[in-house]
Structure 1
């Protein structure tokens, strides 16, 4: 029997919003269930990556402390120095290390500030506030894009980190290279600018961000990437940061030891060695994305331009109702109460069912 406990967390932790992961689908008679709530790759990893998992025989040993073999493979693949790469448990793990290293509460009691677009990745405020820093969310524009002019205006003498999520999760638009180049010209050189590229591989825009070029040109730019989405390794948690040594030397100080398991490292290396198969899976998702977007447009839906593996329905107060309607057809989607619904591009049958739901949903365009 539990009794009232006097134990309580730090004030900042007590006030944190809870991270809400995408829920699995519920069974509904007559329907095959599909999970479209977590931006997972429906086709899974390359077969060689799955085989690499099965081939690991060192589960009784600690993994490489800093995933050195994976970093060497990434350094060769990306043509960047080995020392410029720091791995983490997913790109979120890498981000947590970065915020811990560069933003918090100073010896004077003043909180550093971290600027990011909002709505954007749900974990941003959690990571920032946990580190003891002050988050400064800047509302996205009506089309779901970052308002870079407003983000520049939000910079103060307490700003230490700025987060750019491109493509933006959950709204979908990607920044252009010119936009980011122009934005960097407005940012003081001591402020770390993070280019979060979890959905990089799905981008098909005319002027995609060349984040590696920007990190080479700007010592304060850090790039975040992951094996969770395009590579289909979400269950293994492998991500990494790329930055110049002035940044990465501090990331290594706060990195969680052994954060990338031996199994995850083996799978990620194998996936890099079979990029043709990874790219085939990505291209099939992109083709499905374009099909879904075209169908929604034909049905009268006005949605932000997406360069990711999901679409955003700006339903506002109707977000939860739509998610319930999807759930009744065994589709799990991700509602953001009062804002909208993010729907992952999944298997063709799942996408077909989602399209039909959008055509007939009572709260949709042109439906009475």
Structure 2
């Protein structure tokens, strides 16, 4: 049997490959491959390779398109990122006819691209089972059910067993390998080998987060935390290194949670490997969990930079952040990182802006405060996420109607 994985193109006012990779579909593809499927991949989110940075990041290929009528009041360029529909149609004609097509989703407001892709796939392969999964399906189940008529099955990220049952029922076969999505040690490595080149590989060492920030959907997506064994992670790093991969990207939401039994043993083991790594963390580390030893281990393990969350300053937005940061915690973390050898420009503070009723003076205060450490500051724009307390509390105050 044949399975086709598709990472769909998207529409937005801005997008950039900030170490983004479709790890979910690639993980499912690896599971299907272990069940005897032939697995193929079309990644529509192509980048401009000539502009790829040394750290692996790169701009997507883009084409300006017409702004949808509901967003016509926004005076910014609206673009498609990745393949065009016609380019995808041509690519689909060059893959063996699939039995199932799995389409991944990410941000809730990126659903238009996957919707077009699902309709195109169904028109070209009417007998194929079209399956939609990912974060959008998980967070906006009712909206997805109404919008994706071309799909035969919707699979929330936390219910992969629905996929197993559907395949067994529709094709009258038994899948011998059906791991839980939350058993990180039993999951196969994502099938990045389907790419002609692998600029970086994401690593997931844990699921979930102990904090309950009101703007974040992680507690809904992962009600409980789960952590991967050190040996399992080292085996994966070594596997990809034999294929020439040197850059790895940490996708965890709370890598440093229970650091004495999780992060520190992993970092020590990575430091002892006979080859050098380049490690990056696009998701912020919790500043208050960084002690002197942790900072040193991050450096020796191969982190080229460290990104911290500054969204919890007590005088900024602490009512929304579960009180996970105090100024002294942030200052201490910066000091430890610099003493460990991280240059100023390799330390970044994320500052969440655009929160409901947030005053510009609060943002300025946080910027001025972070600037005193001579580190990099990046503004992270708040987006209302369904299934979060802040979404439910302020949805009526949004500039545009939003729904889940």
Same fold (TM over 0.5): no
- Larger RCO: Structure 1 or Structure 2 (Cα < 8 Å, ≥ 6 residues apart)? 1
